[in-house]
């Protein structure tokens, strides 16, 4: 029983294939790797801050994204970005299936590169299968080289990830001279290990067993969703598929005998990176990489038969109905997606250089002074988010006869990115019959630089 309780991984030996989708995948891969590995090295001119184009500065609590500076209080942007990504995923999946899995997922991209290395060193499918059957030194050497190269790519991946969190040139030097922070080594080590394990050893097991996406894809799919499908009606005919034996070499001959177009060459199965047979229909293991489409197209081209025995199509199209793209579900995903994108862009475009907040001291809410007047205290927090020094004057408006007291602080000077807290007190001779609560406005008036907008923050004054 022990054997049936736990199943050893059935090795998958994907075969090389050329074609439209393979080229598209290489393109996406080149773009993704280019961005990922080069981005930390792009410099960006900033006057008072790091000159790295993309830098996630955790100790400094700010993220640099080219000309955009993200502060912790902008955490809503992250929420917006995550909502956008989720909606985009649902929308795209509803229309075109698991596009993300097949073309953009890190697991797919890195596995592709690892398979490429494997093929360079050990040869294609047949050669690799032979190596696995053979004993002796040669397979050991070839596999050793493969694993060494995998580890090298994994390490480059891990180190590059770490570079996003500190100044890249300094960190690389510090890393190799043993001067870097523990977190840098830990992050690089962890990423190296997981990259090696997931892309090198676990591969399709990640998609099949670990990733939840495969399991809920059926919720997002419907009969109009484009999926990689085998045209069973064409491939099987009435008598099923058959190899091109004598008398079955031409389409006409096959159709006459009720045999389908599928010549059962098995190429589509051999190229599959997750080791399934697409001719069994939609399966949760399928990542929709479309390599089987390329494989079948290659074979059909060779036979001079029309392409598309395996193709991107919807269930409706397979059954001869029209595929609908514009329907409530798609629009329901698209509308909030557009809304959130607009909100995010609006939010980013309407950043203020000065961030100020006023919180009234609530214990005690008000105090009577010896001359009979009432005093309220306020904690004013100011954050200079601009990239230049700022000098501010605090003023009060909207409260008749009130006096503002900031002690001996007359002006606030804030360096770029500096934030400070100021305690301010407001006094008013409580006139008889005045309302218990009055509104007031604090104005932070920039003295330097000129032309900067006045920041106004509302608060209230409590009399009793």
Partner 1 sequence: MSESGQRPEDASGQEVKTTGHTWDGDLCEYDNPLPRWWLWGFYATVIFSLIYWLLYPAWPVADTFTKGLSRVTFEVDGEERSTHWNSRALLVREMQNSDAAQRQQEFLRVIDDSTLDDVLGNTDKLAFVNSYGQGMFGDFCAACHQTGGAGLMGVYPNLADDNWHWGGEVETIAGTITQGRLGYMPDFRDALDAQQRDAVAAYVLSLAGYEGDAERIARGEEIFQGREGGCYTCHRPDGTGLRSQGAPDLTNDIWSNIDVAGAEDDAARRALISQLVHDGVQREMPAFGDRLSDAEIKVLATYVHQFGGGQ
Token pair, residue 173, equals 């030097």
Smallest distance from the beta carbon of 25 to partner 1, in angstroms? 25
Q: Any contact of residue 205 with partner 1 (CB under 8 A)?
A: yes
| Nearest Cα residue to 244 out of 256, 260, 233 | 260
Question: Among residues 5 and 177, whose Cβ is nearest to partner 1?
Answer: 5
Contact call for residue 6 and partner 1 (CB under 8 A)? yes
Does position 425 interact with partner 1 (CB under 8 A)? The reply is: yes
How many whole angstroms separate alpha carbon 238 and alpha carbon 255?
Answer: 9
Residues 379-408 that bind partner 1 (CB under 8 A): 405, 407-408
Instruction: Say whether 145 sits in a helix, a strand or coil.
Output: helix
Instruction: Please identify, using beta-carbon distances, which residue of 121 and 392 lies nearer to partner 1.
Output: 392
Give CA–CA dist 136/239, Å, rounded: 47
Binding mask 253-272 for partner 1 (x = CB under 8 A): --------------------
Under the binding rule (CB under 8 A), the answer on residue 209 touching partner 1 is yes
- Which of 60, 169, 281, 306 touches partner 1 (CB under 8 A)? 281
Decide: is 47 part of the binding site for partner 1 (CB under 8 A). no
Residue 202 is a binding residue for partner 1 (CB under 8 A): yes
- Residues 6 or more apart whose CB falls under 8 angstroms from that of 185 comprise 175
Asked if residue 412 binds partner 1 (CB under 8 A), the reply is: yes
Q: β-strand 54-57 against 62-65: which pairing, if any? A: antiparallel
Degrees, nearest 5: CA angle 261-263-267: 120
Q: How many residues make contact with partner 1 (CB under 8 A)?
A: 37
Among 167, 194, 323, 375, the residue binding partner 1 under the rule CB under 8 A is 375
Q: Which is nearer to partner 1, 133 or 408 (CB)?
A: 408
Contact 387, 48 (CB under 8 A): yes
Query: Interacting stretch for partner 1, rule CB under 8 A, among 20-28, 66-74, 133-141, 369-377?
Result: 369-377
CA 176, chain centre distance (Å): 29
CB 15 within 8 Å of CB 125? yes
Q: Please, what is the minimum distance in Å from the beta carbon of residue 419 to partner 1? A: 9
The CA-based angle 111-112-116, given to 5 degrees, is 115
Give Dmax over CA atoms of the chain in angstroms: 114
**Both structure tokens of 231:** 């045209």
Q: How far is the CB of 363 from partner 1 (least distance, A)?
A: 4
Contact region with partner 1 (CB under 8 A), list: 118-126, 162-170, 327-335, 415-423:
415-423
Stretch that binds partner 1, among 3-11, 99-107, 211-219, 431-439 (CB under 8 A): 3-11
Separation CA 63–CA 81 (nearest Å): 14
- Segment contacting partner 1 by CB under 8 A, of 44-52, 71-79, 138-146, 412-420: 412-420
User: Binding to partner 1 by residue 4, rule CB under 8 A?
Assistant: yes
What is the Cα–Cα distance from 112 to 129, expressed in whole angstroms? 18
**Whole-Å CA distances, 38 to 151, 161, 268, 278:** 20, 11, 35, 37
Q: Are 42 and 52 in contact (CB under 8 A)?
A: yes
In the complex, the smallest distance separating the C-beta of residue 5 from partner 1, rounded to whole angstroms, is 6
Residue 369 Cβ vs partner 1, minimum distance, rounded to whole Å: 5
Using the rule CB under 8 A, give the single segment among 2-10, 18-26, 106-114, 170-178 that binds partner 1: 2-10
Contacts with 449 (C-beta within 8 Å, 6 or more apart), sequence order: 388, 390
Token readout for 60 is 């400094």
51, 179, 255, 368: residue in contact with partner 1 (rule CB under 8 A): 368
- Scan residues 8-37 and list those touching partner 1 (CB under 8 A): 8-9
Site for partner 1 contains 67 (CB under 8 A): no
| Residue 295 Cα to chain centre, angstroms | 30
Among 168, 180, 187, 165, smallest CA distance to 56 is for 165
Q: How far apart are CA 261 and CA 157, in angstroms?
A: 44
Please identify which residue in 423, 447, 453, 454 interacts with partner 1, judged by CB under 8 A.
423
Quick one: residue 414, left, alpha or beta (phi over 0 = left, psi -120 to 50 = alpha)? beta
Binding mask 328-367 for partner 1 (x = CB under 8 A): ---------------------------------xxxx--x
Which residues are at the interface with partner 1 (CB under 8 A)? 4-9, 202, 205, 209, 276-277, 280-281, 283, 361-364, 367-372, 375, 377, 405, 407-409, 412-413, 420-423, 425
């Amino acid at each position: 029983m022990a054997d049936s309780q736990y199943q050893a991984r059935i090795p998958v030996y994907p075969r090389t294939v050329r074609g439209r989708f393979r080229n598209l995948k290489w393109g996406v891969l080149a773009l993704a790797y280019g961005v990922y590995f080069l981005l930390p090295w792009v410099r960006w001119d900033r006057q008072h801050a790091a000159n790295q184009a993309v830098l996630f500065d955790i100790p400094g609590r700010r993220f640099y994204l080219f000309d955009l500076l993200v502060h912790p209080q902008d955490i809503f942007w992250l929420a917006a970005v995550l909502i956008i990504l989720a909606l985009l995923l649902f929308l795209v999946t509803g229309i075109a299936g698991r596009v993300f899995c097949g073309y953009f997922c890190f697991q797919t991209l890195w596995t592709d590169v690892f398979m490429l290395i494997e093929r360079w060193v050990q040869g294609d499918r047949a050669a690799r299968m032979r190596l696995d059957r053979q004993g002796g030194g040669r397979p050991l050497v070839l596999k050793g080289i493969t694993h060494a190269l995998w580890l090298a790519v994994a390490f480059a991946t891990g180190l590059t990830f770490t570079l996003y969190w500190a100044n890249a040139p300094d960190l690389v030097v510090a890393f190799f001279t043993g001067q870097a922070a523990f977190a840098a080594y830990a992050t690089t080590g962890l990423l190296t290990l997981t990259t090696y394990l997931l892309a090198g050893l676990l591969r399709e097991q990640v998609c099949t067993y670990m990733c939840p996406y495969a399991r809920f894809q059926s919720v997002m799919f419907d009969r109009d969703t484009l999926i990689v499908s085998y045209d069973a009606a064409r491939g099987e005919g009435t008598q099923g598929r058959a190899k091109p034996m004598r008398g079955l070499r031409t389409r006409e001959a096959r159709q006459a005998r009720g045999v389908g177009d599928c010549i059962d060459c098995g190429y589509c199965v051999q190229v599959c990176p997750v080791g399934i047979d697409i001719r069994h229909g939609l399966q949760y293991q399928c990542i929709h990489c479309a390599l089987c489409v390329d494989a079948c197209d290659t074979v059909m081209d060779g036979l001079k038969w029309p392409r598309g025995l395996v193709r991107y199509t919807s269930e409706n199209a397979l059954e001869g109905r029209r595929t609908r793209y514009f329907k409530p579900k798609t629009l329901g995903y698209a509308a909030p997606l557009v809304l959130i994108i607009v909100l995010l862009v609006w939010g980013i475009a309407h950043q203020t250089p000065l961030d100020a907040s006023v919180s009234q001291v609530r214990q005690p809410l008000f105090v009577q002074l010896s001359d009979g007047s009432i005093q309220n205290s306020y904690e004013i927090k100011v954050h200079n988010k601009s990239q230049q020094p700022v000098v501010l004057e605090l003023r009060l408006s909207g409260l008749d006869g009130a006096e503002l007291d900031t002690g001996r602080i007359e002006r606030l000077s804030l360096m770029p990115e500096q934030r400070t807290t100021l305690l301010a007190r407001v006094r008013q001779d409580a006139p008889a019959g005045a309302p218990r609560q009055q509104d007031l406005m604090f104005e932070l008036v920039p003295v330097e630089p000129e032309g900067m907008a006045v920041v106004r923050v509302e608060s209230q004054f409590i009399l009793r």
